[in-house]
Amino acid sequence: MIANMMKLITICMVSLVLIAAAPAAAQDKLMSKNQAALQAQKSVKGRVLKVEQNKSKYKVKVLQKSGRVVTVDVDKKSGKVSNSKKDR
């Protein structure tokens, strides 16, 4: 009986550790080029022309219907779109 209780306690403890570690692991995951392109496309509303990357962000060029090319930065960790500037 005591052995069964110890097993149950061990299983519960391991489960709690795994549950607590899951959000931390998810935060470390970086977004892909395709995900960055989709984020930029949603934000700027246009056709993605090019995606370049550096250590912390993607630089995405988007062609708008008006003919303007807009470059935005997409943070690799958060997916936040920023620094919109007009190229043309």
Sorting pLDDT into bands at 50, 70 and 90, what band is 2? confident
Q: Residues near 67 by Cβ (< 8 Å), separated by ≥ 6?
A: 88
**Cβ neighbour number for residue 60 with a 10 Å cutoff:** 26
Question: Rounded to two decimals, what is the model's pTM?
Answer: 0.64
**What's the pLDDT score for residue 28?**
65
Residue 14: both structure tokens together:
């391991």
- Distance between CA 62 and CA 65 in Å, rounded? 10
Can you tell me the distance from the alpha carbon of 88 to that of 64, in angstroms, rounded to the nearest whole number? 11
Q: Name the residue with higher pLDDT: 19 or 71.
A: 71
Would you say residue 84 has pLDDT above 90? Answer: no
pLDDT digits (tens, 9 = 90+) for 7-60: 666 665 655 555 655 554 455 688 999 999 999 999 989 999 999 999 899 999
